[in-house]
Every structure is written in C-alpha cells, then in structure tokens.
Chains A and B, each alone.
Chain A
Amino acid sequence: MTLPIRLGFVVKVLGRAGLKEHDSRRWQNNPHLSVSLAYLRDIFEYLRAGQITMYRISSDLAPYATHPDMPQFHNQLDECAAELAVVGDLARAIGLRLSFHPSQYVILNSPDEALTAKSVWDLRVQAEILDRMALGPEAVVVTHVGGIYEGREPARERFVRRWEQLSPVVQERLVLENDDVRFGVADTLWIHRRTGIRLVFDNLHHHNHNPDGIPLRDALASCLATWPADVRPKIHFSSPRTEMRIVQRQDKETGRKVDELQQPVWTRHSDFIHPFEFIDFLRAAADLRPFDVMLECKAKDLALLRLRDDLARYAPDLQDRVT
C-alpha cells in the first residue's frame, strides 16, 4: 500500500501564538542549541496535535555554531548529545519527516575558498544534527547549486568538485534543488549524473527558470528518479504571489520616501497555496512515483491546514492521498 503524500511547512508556526522556532537571543545573552531544541520539541507537540508529519527546521537552530569569532558556541552539538537524541526520538515516534534548507549564504560552488569552507561547515553542522537525532535518509539538507560566476558550466563543475570533497556525513544528507534564476532542472540533473546527489524538484522555480524547455511532468519525474527506491522523494511546491507590490522609493524632488505600486514578480511566494494549481499538479503526477510535498508559502502551517480543507472540498478523490 502506498503511503499518503505528506504535506509539510517551513520553520515558523503561525497557528499558535508565541511558539518560537529557535533561540533567537543575541550572543550577549548566551543563546543555546539546547533551548532551541526545547522550542523544537514544543513545535513537534504542536505538529502531533495537528497530525502534520513533515517540517523544515530553522537553519538557526544552533545559534552562532559556525561563527568564526565565537568559539564559545562551537561545541553545542557535543553539549546537546542527549537532548538531540530525545527530540529525535520524539520525531520518529510521531513519524515526522524533517529537513534543513540553509540560508542563501551557504554556497558550495563559490570561487571564494573561505566562503566555501564556511558553507561546508554550516552543512556539516546541519547534517550532524540530523545524524544525532538518528533520523533516516528521508531527513535531508536542501541546497542550491550556487552562483554562476564565470559561467554556468564551470560553476556546475565546481559544485561537483566541491561535492566530492565533502565528508560522507554531509554527502549522505545533502540534496539539490533547482532554482528560479540560475540553475534549472537540466543543471541539477547534470550534477546528479556526476555525483549521485538526490534532487528536489521545485515547481515554481521550474516555471520561472526552465531554459531547456523541459515539460514540468518530465522534470518532476526525472528528479523523483534520482532518489533510491527505498527512500520517499520530496518536492517543494508554491504558488506565485499575484497582487500588486508596494515598493518604497525616494522622491527625487522632495527626498521623501513614497510608496509606489509595482506589478508582481512571479518568483515570490503567495500566502496560501492555490488549491486548483495544486490539484492539477497532483493529478498530473498521479502515475509517477509517490513523493512528499514541502509547501513554501507565507501562511506556513495555516496554509497547510487550509489546503487540506480545500482538497476535501474541491478534490475529495485526492483527499485520501494526502496527509
């Protein structure tokens, strides 16, 4: 029997006031991974109550853990071995699929060796957190190819070289996502063929950046095929933000800041998932290999709960396929 598609959301919980995703205190107040893990544990309890089984953890979970000038924060993973194990136990007990998506400052293919080294450090910390939580291979760290620099092909090749130098701990957790302006699915597939790295398909990125003209369903199927048979693939799904944007600019004559209406940019995420787009997407993928869906939208868990209701109302035939 095929397990239902898991729906997940990203980091911030909106459905319960005051539920933080990490210890955000400034370094002067000595934030600590253990406090972040307590927040994470509370979020897991919230997810359990809402029967939400997929979640992206904050990349700032271990505060200042890779800050080069703050060695006092570098040992937090060792200090929290027991706490990581306990929160991992809870995640497994409630069947949670977890992931990280490091910030845009984590760039593996940069020509800047220092930036790359720092990026590798960040990736290692996040991969190690998942390891110490004893999570299976479905728990991944999602990254992008990075910058174009001197050209698309050398940039891809440099990603491959850097990937080859990663420790097994990172290689086993790292997965690669097509982005919306630089590297599309053809690029991530090119890298996959040379590294074996698993690919996460992002529908909105693909709509925005598909220079090779790969049909959406083919792109999705190709990315799904990069995952081992015994590991459920995951994808990212979002809807474009369609409303006018309010942009502040400085009036040249008065020097005052004024609000200006501008047309939308299709790379931006909407608050909620467009239910009809999502339904069409699921129907188009019905005969493909099963996958889980991380929803990327501004209304976070509220959007996930709304999407469930929308599926029940507009596509009851799909309702049982999604959890």
Chain B
Amino acid sequence: MTEQSDAPYTPDHAPVLVAVLNNQPDFERARDDGWYRIPLKRAPRRIAAEYLAFYQTGAFGDEGCAVNWYAPVRRFQVLSRAELLPDEPDHPRAGDLYYRIEIGPLQRLAAPVTSPRLRRVTFIPTTLGRLLAAREVNDLWQRDDVQGRLWAALREAGLLAEYRYQLGEPPNETLIDFALFCRDGRIAVLCEAAPDPDPDLRERRPAEYDLVAAGWQVMQFSARQVTDSVAGCVEQVAALVRQLGGQAATTE
C-alpha cells in the first residue's frame, strides 16, 4: 500500500502532523492497514492535520532517526484500545480511548528528513511545504522572524541547535527555543521575541530558574538584540559552546 512520491498537487500550507513510529508492527499497520493511533490521555495539543508524516526512531535501523513517509488523513475515530487491537483484550489499558487516524497510502519523501543529532522527537505540527523542503527535523518547525533569523545565523556559524526542544511530557511540557548540547554541558537559548499571541506557547516557556536547576546554561536574547546584531548573539553562543568543550554529537 505504498506509492513513490508522484503525489498530485497539494497546497503547501496543508497542515501536517509528524508522528513517531518506534516499532515495526506500528509501521506495518500504517502501511498495510492504513491507520495510526494516539492515546487521548497523552495526545499532544495539536493532532488535526491533512497529512500524517512518520518519524521512525532508531529501532528502524538504516531508515531510522528520520521522516521517510507521509500519507493523507482520511478520518479520525475515537475507539477503545480493545476495539483497536482486538487481539489484546486483556491489556491493562484495554479500556483506554485512542484516536485512530485513518490514512491513505504511504508516500515516500524524495529525501529523508533526518535527525542528525539523534534528537528525541515527539509530535511536530508543520505544513506540507515545510515537510517536502525539509532537510532535517529542525526545519519542520514554523518560526517567527526573530527566531528564524537566529536559527539561520546559528546554522551558518556551524552551531548545531535543536529548535523547540521539549522538556517533560504533555500536557506539562515546556519548550526551549534553541538547545545546544556540548561535551561539558547544555545550553538553552531563549529568544524573547514580541509577546507571543499564542497563550499556549507563552504557557510552555520554561522558567529560567527551572532550567538552571536542571543543569542548563541559559542565554536570553531580546528581539532587538537579534534584529540589531544577530552576529553578536551567535558569537556569545559560540563562546559558551567553546567554554563547554565544544558540541557533542548527540543530545544525550
């Protein structure tokens, strides 16, 4: 039930939800039976989309740590686990409710969207245009102007940052704007753009003292600093990276 990516015209702005596959049976369900599941209790704040894309974890070997496939969403259903997986009637969560997302045929992306630093990936809302153009997982996120400028400058300077790095689990997770992992420590860059109209994102901004308590080195930049001197911001980050022994290969 898979097709090569000769998909018909679809709008760039069509919403896409990048979901995680961490085992072969779930991949086979998506590919052969045409569905994916999300437990209601642990559903992210955004689930709705016209397309599902799948980030496959390291469990998939050569295909792992990348988004390789996507599919159009056909419908959502709410079912109990027992209804979804009738072969497992005695499962401890048999009565729990799940979203069963029915999808069309899987389509392979022209190039995989990788996670070069083996970042832990959860759900990422994006658009079809971004998905089709992305090179790595961080490209999937939509960024405002200030964050986009800082992201581009960090990348140009060879600094490997993880955008919107998640701490904790939904619904109590917080998001670091840019996380950098070094040999001797971790850096959280918080970008104080104009007040975000999205109360959800405001709510998920981590408190500096929480980050410091968890062992992060915190840097904050105002929108003005980024706009007036993005190079200066990047140099400050680079200096701290050097102080912490240079960048590590993974986010572990």
What string of 1s and 0s marks CB contacts (under 8 Å) between B150-191 and chain A? 000000000000000000000000000000000000000000
- A177–B78 Cα distance when bound, in Å, is 36
A49 engages B76 (CB within 8 Å) = no
- Interface bits A15-43 vs B (CB < 8 Å: 1, else 0): 11111100101000110101101110110
Per the bound structure, the CA–CA distance linking A208 and B178 in Å amounts to: 52
In this assembly, does B72 line the interface, its C-beta being within 8 Å of a C-beta of chain A? yes
Q: Taking the complex as formed, is B208 at the interface, i.e. its CB lies under 8 A from any CB of chain A?
A: no
The docked-state distance in angstroms from the alpha carbon of A46 to that of B45 is 8
Q: Across the two chains, which residue of chain B brings its CB closest to A18? A: B15
**Min CB–CB distance B38 → chain A (angstroms):** 10
Is there an interface contact between B76 and A35, defined as CB atoms closer than 8 Å?
Answer: yes
Interface-centre pick from B76, B125, B201 (highest chain A CB count, 10 A): B76
**B127 contacts the other chain (CB 8 A):** yes
Taken together as a complex, chains A and B put the C-alpha atoms of A45 and B123 apart, in Å, by 15
- Contact A42 B78, CB 8 Å, known A16-B198, A18-B142: no
Q: B224 interface residue, CB < 8 Å from A?
A: no
Q: Which residue of A lies closest to B197 (CB)?
A: A15
Q: In the complex the two chains form, is B78's CB within 8 Å of A83's CB? A: yes
By a CB distance below 8 angstroms, the chain A residues around B75 are 32, 34-35, 79
Question: Given A19-B46, A20-B15, A25-B50, does the pair A50, B199 have CB atoms closer than 8 Å?
Answer: yes
Task: Tell me, yes or no, whether A14 is within 8 Å of chain B by CB.
Answer: yes
The answer to whether A42 and B45 touch (CB under 8 A), given A18-B142, A49-B203, is: yes
Q: Closest residue of chain A to B171, judged by CB?
A: A45
A86, CB-defined interface residue at 8 Å = yes
Contact for B197 among A30, A39, A305, CB less than 8 A: A305
Alpha-carbon gap, A35 to B49, bound state (A): 8
Q: Does B82 interact with chain A (Cβ within 8 Å)?
A: no
Does residue B220 face the partner (Cβ distance < 8 Å to A)? Answer: no
B48 contacts A35, C-beta separation under 8 Å: yes
The yes or no answer to B200 lying at the interface (CB within 8 A) is yes
Write out the residue numbers on chain A whose beta carbons fall within 8 Å of the beta carbon of B99.
Answer: 38
Given that A38-B47, A302-B197 are contacting pairs, would A29 and B72 also be in contact in the complex, using a CB cutoff of 8 Å?
yes
Say if the beta carbon of B118 comes within 8 Å of chain A: no
Tell me, in angstroms, the Cα distance from A39 to B48 when the chains sit together: 5
Indicate whether B212 reaches chain A with its CB closer than 8 angstroms.
Answer: no
**A49–B77 touching, CB < 8 Å:** no
Q: Are A49 and B199 in contact (CB under 8 A)?
A: yes
Q: Is the interface of A mostly helix, strand, loop or mixed?
A: helix
Measured CA separation A171–B78 after assembly (Å): 30
Highest count of chain A CB atoms <10 Å: which of B142, B199, B201: B199
B47: which of A15, A18, A32, A41 is its contact (CB, 8 Å)?
Answer: A41
Asked if B1 lies at the interface with its beta carbon under 8 angstroms from chain A, I say: no
Instruction: Report chain A residues within 8 Å CB of B127.
Output: 18
Residues of A within 8 A of B97 (CB): 86
Distance from A133 Cβ to chain B, minimum over Cβ atoms (Å):
13
Taking the nearest CB of chain B, how far is it from the CB of A132, in angstroms? 13
State the CA gap A35–B47 with chains docked (Å). 10
Return chain A residues, CB-CB under 8 Å to B40: 86
Q: Which residues of A contact B50 (CB under 8 A)?
A: 23, 25, 35
Q: Which residues from B are CB-within-8-Å of A39? A: 48
In chain B, positions 42-59 with a C-beta closer than 8 Å to chain A are 45-50
Residues facing A in B199-218 (CB within 8 A) are 199-201, 203
- B149 at the binding interface (Cβ < 8 Å): no
Q: Which residues of A contact B73 (CB under 8 A)?
A: 35
B45 — which chain A residues lie within 8 A by C-beta? 42, 45-46, 49
Q: How far is the CB of A56 from chain B (nearest CB, A)?
A: 18
Q: B79's closest neighbor in chain A, by CB? A: A82
A38 and B48 form a contact (CB under 8 A): yes
Contact B197 A82 (CB under 8 A): no
Smallest Cβ-Cβ distance to B15: which chain A residue = A18
Q: What mask results when residues 57 to 81 of chain B are scored 1 for a CB within 8 Å of chain A, else 0?
A: 0000000000000001111111100
Q: Which residues of A contact B15 (CB under 8 A)?
A: 18, 20
B103 to chain A, nearest CB (A): 11
On A, residues with C-beta under 8 Å from B are: 14-20, 23, 25, 29-30, 32, 34-35, 37-39, 41-42, 45-46, 49-51, 79, 82-83, 85-86, 301-302, 305
9 A-B pairs in the complex with CB atoms less than 8 angstroms apart: A18-B13, A18-B142, A20-B15, A23-B50, A32-B76, A41-B48, A50-B200, A86-B40, A305-B199
Question: Told that A46-B200, A83-B76, A305-B197 touch, could you supply 10 new A-B pairs with CB distance under 8 A?
Answer: A15-B199, A18-B127, A34-B77, A35-B75, A38-B47, A38-B49, A38-B76, A46-B45, A49-B200, A86-B78
Q: Considering the complex of A and B, which 6 residue pairs feature the smallest CB-CB distances, nearest first? A: A38-B48, A50-B199, A49-B200, A15-B197, A39-B48, A34-B75
